[in-house]
Chains A and B, each alone.
Chain A
């Protein structure tokens, strides 16, 4: 069994779920408001990008130990209020989703539903190793290797758990990303940035991750990542199922 990964196996970036046609008045947008907004948008592109960056309201949604660091980020020493970050409880009023912890199989549809409930100019920060690639639980049966399999991620913050300063840096990076998109007038996903690492696009990041065998997502590709030790092979299971060989443990 070879561990080589075919480029075709790169998990595709989940396309934006929000396929609503902006011009259809009944698509959740009042006709008048829409045309007025279109006009405003053209005239004040830079201003809105500034305002969108300076008032990022994240959703109070924490999963595990990274959520404690997110709380510390909201407390007085690191004080996210300085950046205009104000935690809101309802997804409708939030425009930033900080995924702080592993996306387990039970939490999968909760995260996707929360993301889809948030109004459109929304951003996602994958905070901590668990959100980036499953972290210390990468080979667990109930942890999904990385939130970007569920929702498009803008900023990755490595660390387990990362320090609250890294989240401040991530907010600054996000503000740069928004300003850059604002100037370019694009609404799509710009370059994904990993905090604390050199500029890297999402594709490069995934290529790096895919190229390095130990990062290979074990159960996503179906066969086990690291099989049992040789002596365990000797006591093959009663069903006699041959366990594939592997290049050592640990």
Chain B
């Protein structure tokens, strides 16, 4: 509802791409749901795939080996860098400046090539299976990741300078859409948006999963809560994620990439996966857009009897 130029009230009408994934989950075997798990947040597919796979692993109590966990952490954090690059592009596109959008997409394409080389796809992967990985992260691929990150580290300050030193860019973001910490918590805001309002809530620090405790994760928060603070939080998170990718690749030991009894397709172990009767698993991950949570309720068969996910409101 507009009053001349100022927005008076807003009633968001969501659901235009509602695909009823909970119903679909109830009618697919656990391992067959992974392609849809990628599409829960299609800009950060690896993060949500890992969320779903780790939830199923907790449901059946299967621990992936150390090498798989470190490889997954490297990919999840690299996916955060790619997702934040896409955010940088669409932010400047919405502000009417397509140049930074095209530059950020160009950098994102280079990292998508790395994903395609390692995980088999540009946007949706299916690289993580229940109990480990489909195929290994070879040293050559790890070296390529490090090379790409070094290149990005050199190029990124140039784009960020183009946005930060541009007075108009700052003027459009500073003091716009300020959200107080109290409102952020009350309305369930999570992720970079909450941290920009001063809410110190990051699942990686709050309930560490993967190897965040060993690698020492530093949470990025700001107090202002306006668009500029959200810009700064995401910019610093990108640098933190790059550091984490390097640390995860360094920590990655030699060893098997699949646990004993991992749900592979050849041999078709995944087709007859047993789940506990009335078992329940609830997992939270820090996805690029906010806290993602999946709850799975199993009834013993190879089909979840109820799956529910909290969409990340970041």
Please report A residues at the B interface, Cβ cutoff 8 Å.
Answer: 63-65, 68-69, 71-72, 75-77, 101-102, 104, 106-107, 110, 136-137, 139-143, 160-161, 163, 226, 229, 231-232, 249-250
Contact = CB atoms under 8 A, between A and B. Distances in A.
Interface residues of B, number: 35
Given A64-B17, A68-B43, A104-B17, A136 B105 contact: no
A76 B102 contact: yes
A104 to B, nearest CB: 6
Interface of B: 15-21, 23-24, 27-29, 32, 35-36, 39, 42-43, 45, 86, 89, 101-103, 105-106, 108-109, 112, 122-124, 271, 301, 303
A65 to B, nearest CB: 3
Nearest to B104: A75
Given A65-B124, A68-B42, A69-B123, A137 B105 contact: no
Contact of B24 (A68, A101, A140): A140
User: 7 smallest A-B Cβ distances: which pairs?
Assistant: A65-B42, A75-B105, A137-B19, A140-B20, A77-B109, A76-B102, A76-B106
B271 A107 contact: no
A231 B109 contact: no
B74 to A, nearest CB: 22
Which applies to chain B's interface (DSSP): helix, strand, loop or mixed?
A: helix
Contacts of A76: 102-103, 105-106
Which applies to chain A's interface (DSSP): helix, strand, loop or mixed?
A: loop
A137 B36 contact: yes
B284 to A, nearest CB: 23
A140 B23 contact: yes
Given A63-B17, A102-B17, A229-B303, A75 B24 contact: no
A231 B102 CA distance: 54
A157 to B, nearest CB: 15
B27 A143 contact: no
A69 B16 CA distance: 19
Chain B CB count within 10 A is highest, among A64, A77, A141, for A77
